[in-house]
Amino acid sequence: MSAVIEIAGLHKTFHTLRQGRRTAVDGFDLLVESGQVHGFLGPNGSGKTTTLRALLGLVRADGGRMSVLGAESPGRLPEVAGRVGAIVESPQFFANFTARRTLRLLALAGGVPTTRVDAVLEQVGLRDRGDERVRGYSLGMKQRLAVASALLKNPELLILDEPANGLDPAGIREMRDLMRSLAAAGVTVLLSSHILAEIQLICDHVTIISRGRRVAHGRVDEVLAGFDQHEWRVGVAEPERAAELLARAGVSVTVHPDHLLVAGVDDAEVISRTLGEQGLWVRELVPLRPDLESVFLELTGDAPHPALPRQVDGTAPDDMVIDLDVRESREVGA
Ligand SMILES: Nc1ncnc2c1ncn2[C@@H]1O[C@H](COP(=O)(O)OP(=O)(O)OP(=O)(O)O)[C@@H](O)[C@H]1O
């Protein structure tokens, strides 16, 4: 797979009269490879928009190296601009224009054949609504129109800042289907979001940013697996006795009022056999898998995560890296 976006050590500090110096991006790295639907995830104010703006030459970086489709950014961006569609500042459309007219105008302004208009309306699922005025569009339809405008030049790379912002679950599902169909058509997608469920639903890869620095990156499932503590919720009669039996078998167990919490067990059979052999029958055995939300909170919040050391001793999946040095430097500075 080839690199479509590469950012290494990006720095950007803003100087404002009221707030003084503010470091928005602090040595950030990003690698997006061809064919990925890559989520760029971080809390509000963590530096996502600044990174995308710097990558696209909309704001000047203070340091670091960036390239888009192999061309160094911002110097050689014009060479590849025709192959990149981006929506970083949310576009405003004339409410009285129809989507078709809007796209025709944008095509004419961008030197794109107007025959592309029908193709992109079809691609974003607005073909049947293309002759309606934008004022009657739902937020999801407006977002899709924005994506359609970025698709006019048939880009190989699509960069979207918060494309699912404000969408309801149905809108997010539509956006996910759209991103998947684009990926299937060979478009590489980078989309930013501060909403975890969105990234988990839409993206196959993720880079998590916190306070201007990358704190995790890799395949979504592998980032999650790296945080899997192999925990189980166990429902059983006589929980105290069950806990004792499990502890004696070397299993880490915590007693809660109506269940046990067992950690560090790969195979559920270990639990059911240990208890069953002593005449205790398990009535509930549920694996507790981490979701991106808990991973995100661990990485961007302050709580240390017991699973983190596993990431640096080589047991983490190859493709997933937790940038521990980032946590350390952040914690030192916190
Ligand atoms: N033009 C600017 N002038 C001064 N400070 C800025 C400017 N743009 C961004 N910042 C600051 O840089 C930091 C990062 O902002 P940025 O917009 O990149 O974050 P973000 O992750 O995109 O946030 P959000 O999810 O809220 O859009 C914030 O502290 C923000 O206030």
Q: Are residues 161 and 213 in the same domain?
A: yes
Indicate which residue's Cα is closest to atom 7 of ligand 1. Answer: 14
Domain range for residue 32?
Answer: 3-94+146-224
Per the structure, how many domains does the chain have? 2
How many angstroms is it from 327 CA to the middle of ligand 1?
A: 20
Instruction: Give the span between the Cα atoms of 189 and 48, in whole angstroms.
Output: 15
Q: For residues 308 and 218, which has the higher predicted lDDT (pLDDT)?
A: 218
Which tokens sit at 239?
Answer: 């929980």
Q: Is the CB of 90 under 6 A from ligand 1?
A: no
Per the model's pLDDT, the better-predicted residue between 96 and 307 turns out to be 96
Residue 296's nearest CA partner among 196, 175, 228, 186 is 196
Tell which of 199, 224, 249 closes a domain.
Answer: 224
Tokens matching residue 76: 């050689």
Helices (H), 258-323: 268-276, 292-300, 308-312
Residue closest via CA to ligand 1's atom 12 equals 24
Q: Is residue 181 scored above 80 in pLDDT?
A: yes
The CATH number of residue 86's host domain is 3.40.50.300
State the distance from the centre of ligand 1 to the C-alpha of 302, rounded, in angstroms: 21
Best residue among 16, 28, 46, 162 to mutate for probing ligand 1, ranked by most atoms within 8 Å of CB? 46
DSSP 77-105: HHHHGGGEEEE-SPPP--TTSBHHHHHHH
Residue 185 sits at φ, ψ, to 5 deg, of -85, 5
Q: 284 and 150, same structural domain?
A: no
> Do residues 82 and 176 share a domain?
yes
Q: Judge whether 48 lies within some domain.
A: yes
**Which domain-ending residue is among 194, 224, 254?**
224
Lookup result for tokens 């499990």: 246
Q: How confident is the model at residue 163 (pLDDT cuts 50, 70, 90)?
A: confident
Could you tell me if the CB of 46 is within 6 A of ligand 1?
yes
**Is 280 found in the same domain as 182?**
no
pLDDT at res. 305: 39
pLDDT at 45: 87
User: Cα(185)–Cα(116) distance, rounded to whole angstroms?
Assistant: 16
Per-residue confidence (pLDDT) for residue 1, from 0 to 100: 65
Find out whether the beta carbon of 19 lies less than 6 Å from any atom of ligand 1: no
Co-location of 207 and 245 in the same domain: no
Instruction: Check whether 258 has a pLDDT greater than 90.
Output: no
Question: Three-state SS across 24-58?
Answer: EEEEEEEEEECCCEEEEECCCCCCHHHHHHHHCCC
Instruction: Give the pLDDT of residue 133.
Output: 95
Q: Are 208 and 216 in contact (CB under 8 A)?
A: yes
CB-based contact 37:163 (threshold 8 Å): no
Burial grade of 133 (CB within 10 A; 0-12, 13-18, 19 or more): middle
Query: Which of the listed residues 15, 19, 49 should we mutate to test ligand 1's pocket, taking the one with most ligand atoms within 8 A of CB?
Result: 49
pLDDT computed for residue 306 by the predictor = 39
Q: What is the mean pLDDT of residues 135-149?
A: 89
Per cent of the chain over pLDDT 70 is 90
Q: Tell me, yes or no, whether 150 and 259 share the same domain.
A: no
- Ligand 1 contacts CB of residue 22 (under 6 A): yes
- Do 156 and 271 lie in one domain? The reply is no
- Asked if the model's pLDDT at residue 84 lies above 70, the reply is yes
The stretch 175-190 carries a mean pLDDT of: 89
Pick from 22-31, 195-204, 245-254, 309-318 the range whose average pLDDT is largest: 22-31
Residue with CA at minimum distance from ligand 1 atom 2? 14
pLDDT of residue 102: 96
**168-177 confidence digits (pLDDT tens):** 777 788 888 8
User: Across the chain, what does the average pLDDT equal?
Assistant: 84
For residue 324, is pLDDT > 70? no
| 89 Cβ below 6 A of ligand 1 | no
Same domain, 152 and 73: yes
Is the domain of 219 the same as that of 241?
A: no
Q: pLDDT tier at 320 (50, 70, 90 boundaries)?
A: very low
Asked if residue 241 is part of any domain, the answer here is yes
